[in-house]
A and B are shown apart, each in its own frame.
Chain A
Amino acid sequence: MVGKKSIHEIIFDLFNYLLMILLMFVTVYPLLYVVFASFSDPKVLMGTEGFIWKPLGNPTTRGYKLTFQNPNILIGYRNTIFYVVVGVVLSLFLTSIGAYLVSRRNFKLKGFLMLMITITLFFGGGMIPMFMVIKQLKIYNTVWAVLLPGAISSWNLIVMRTFFQGIPVGLEEAALIDGANDWQIFSKVIIPLSKPVLAVMVLYYGVGIWNSWFGPMIYLRNRELFPLQLFLREILMQSAPASGQKLTLSDMQTDSYYKELLQYTTMVVSTVPILCVYPFLQKYFVKGVMIGSIKG
């Protein structure tokens, strides 16, 4: 019986490993396809059907050269970096202050603030009232319309609060006895002890801002302020000339072969930074899910 069982197990393990390898392949292949396609000869590529396993025709970096010459990609990158850096600092500042407040035991507005925050998890004004508030505040078509509306994510605030609540109360009391005020307790006691959760927040907010496109799309009109994702959308979905508007390569623009090639290179160029840093940061993201799930 024991021998038979182990044969079952061996077969199961074999299939299990094969299945996992298949899943990894399914996850990675679309990305590989895009990478291969981005180096391919566009004419051969367009005439090819089905799977590809290597760059087709004579491998070329022409697409990448054109992509980096595209002013929109550069403007988009510049703006996105600005939004991510400023937005993360702003979000981190506000979220940690909020989390600090609702994790104090001896704060009479705690219940009120917590209610105010929790309600927003389940109900909101919706797209149009929000749009009108942005208009009324006169921040429509400014960077503030991108930075401010999502500055605090209530979920993140609650995750942070959970973490702050785990810091021993004795530290706060000791600091109070030493005559520290709340700003000092916040900045000198709580924040230095919260690096793990701060790292998680930097990543969550950072990735969120990097990926966001809908808010910027409805709140911005000036193309000089567009984040990368909006230009990507034009290139990938709206058949905008992928080499930018006023490029001297007008002969290329009319060439639909190149348009397709540039879609691939643009996807690679816009995704590689995130995928390169991701494996090193993965554990922080996972930690974030864990901290969040305690109070799920």
Chain B
Amino acid sequence: MSTTNPKGAAFKIDHSYHYPEKKNILLTNIRQRPLLYFMAIPIIVYYVVFHYIPMLGIAIGFQNYLPAKGFLNSQWVGLDQFTRFFHSMNFERLVRNTFLISFYDLLFGFPVPVLFALLLNEVKNTKFKKVTQTITYMPHFISLVVICGLIYTFTKSNSPLAQLVAAFTGNKAENLLSNAKYFRTIYVVSGIWQGFGWGSIIYFAALSGVDPTLYEASFLDGAGRFQQTIHVTLPSIAPTIIIMLILRIGSLMSVGHEKIILLYSPITYKTSDVIASYVYRSGLREMNFSYGTAVGLFNSVINLVLVLGANWISRRVTETSLW
């Protein structure tokens, strides 16, 4: 466009010359490497069918979709489903629970792997270190269903945890999972239990990249181990920490539905029901397809904005970003 003559009409661009040449590059490429294009077919089909058609399917969030009428004949209702959600008595509760659970998860869950990596890094006995790593990574591989089974077991009224809580609060031991007061704590603490070891791997990788001469230099300057940690180790792994933190902030409004659905019950909806689990319950289980899609879209859009925002900040602060 910018190559056109500013005087306009005096100079005509010969599109017939440029167009075939461009086409030829693709054609030549296809002729040279036909199999590349052939191999691309299943990949494109997969992404279209299982990602892009569902994205188009979001359109039913703007309809009053009835399975009997089908997509084409269902009534279009604009933003009615969204308004219905914003005015529903669940809206505030869902947004609050989604935000609080992921906020607590960030606040308490984020520092633990960092601290763990720093402390284990101070252990000089390699064998002990290896064993500690193997054991603490382990819960990451236990299936979520079994993890939640463990949570059920450990929060029953005669379980060790419930007994501890009872001893602490002086109340009678109760089933912790059916007390709405404890749901978020259980969710976050069990997440930390399962994930802190695995989450620390990335920091171990960063720690192994710290320049050893920095330690020698600081040692000669008379720094103790604590000072070395503060002045050498932490600044060295700070970029990794910041990137991980920003990524986590990017997912501040996305609490996965799977663990919630396994753990919650109507008694604890007050603190446990999040947007994703509500989409499942109201959309799929109660078959309000349009409504559920609209609620899901609301959540996806917030998440997208958060990820984009976090990436933007990341690019400015650390000169590192996802794209």
Contact = CB atoms under 8 A, between A and B. Distances in A.
Interface stretch (B7-15, B90-98, B278-286): B278-286
Contacts of A181: 33-35
B55 A19 contact: no
Interface string A182-215: 1100100000000000000000000100110110
A16 interface: yes
A137 B153 contact: no
B249 interface: no
A50 B163 contact: yes
B49 interface: yes
Interface string B103-120: 000000000000010011
A100 B42 CA distance: 13
A207 B258 CA distance: 16
A162 to B, nearest CB: 14
A224 interface: no
A50 B149 CA distance: 17
Contacts of B26: 108
Contacts of A109: 36-37, 40
B291 to A, nearest CB: 9
B192 to A, nearest CB: 10
A47 B40 CA distance: 62
A97 B42 CA distance: 9
B68 interface: no
A8 B226 CA distance: 10
Given A27-B138, A118-B323, A275-B138, A101 B149 contact: no
Contact of B205 (A8, A26, A127, A293): A293
A94 B46 contact: yes
A232 B152 CA distance: 13
B101 interface: no
Interface stretch (A60-68, A146-154, A163-171, A249-257): A146-154
Contact of B289 (A49, A132, A237): A132
A214 B258 contact: yes
B39 A148 contact: no
B179 interface: no
A130 interface: yes
Contact of A50 (B44, B152, B160): B160
Interface string A79-121: 0000000000000001001101100101111000100111110
A130 B261 CA distance: 18
B143 A211 contact: yes
Interface string A24-39: 1011101101100100
Contact of B55 (A124, A183, A279): A124
Given A24-B132, A275-B141, A279-B134, A123 B283 contact: no
Interface residues of B, number: 87
Given A218-B284, A271-B142, A233 B40 contact: no
Interface residues of A, number: 89
Nearest to B163: A50
B57 to A, nearest CB: 3
Contacts of A151: 46, 50
Contact of A12 (B39, B135, B142, B225): B225
B307 interface: yes
A267 B147 CA distance: 9
A101 B148 contact: no
B188 interface: no
A126 B54 contact: yes
A289 B47 contact: no
B230 interface: no
Interface string B287-321: 00100110011001000100110000000000000
A247 interface: no
B1 interface: no
B297 A126 contact: yes
Contacts of A132: 54, 57, 60, 289
Contact of A236 (B57, B128, B148): B148
Nearest to B35: A182
Given A19-B119, A137-B49, A149-B50, A214 B261 contact: yes
A116 B47 contact: yes
A243 B283 CA distance: 33
A210 B143 contact: yes
A20 B33 contact: no
Nearest to B256: A214
Contacts of B142: 271, 274-275
Contact of B304 (A100, A122, A267): A122
- Chain A to chain B: the 8 pairs with minimum beta-carbon distance, closest first: A125-B54, A129-B57, A236-B149, A126-B296, A182-B35, A211-B143, A129-B54, A50-B163
30 contacts: A8-B224, A12-B122, A16-B119, A17-B128, A20-B132, A30-B154, A33-B154, A94-B43, A94-B46, A107-B36, A113-B40, A113-B44, A122-B304, A124-B55, A124-B300, A125-B53, A126-B296, A128-B296, A129-B58, A148-B50, A151-B50, A152-B43, A152-B46, A182-B39, A229-B143, A237-B149, A263-B153, A278-B138, A278-B141, A289-B205
Given A27-B193, A148-B50, 5 more contacts: A17-B128, A27-B138, A125-B53, A207-B141, A271-B142
Interface of A: 5, 8-9, 12-13, 16-17, 19-20, 23-24, 26-28, 30-31, 33-34, 37, 46-51, 94, 97-98, 100-101, 104, 106-109, 113, 116-120, 122-133, 137, 148-149, 151-152, 181-183, 186, 207, 210-211, 213-214, 218, 229, 232-233, 236-237, 263-264, 267, 270-271, 274-275, 278-279, 282, 285-286, 289-290, 293, 296
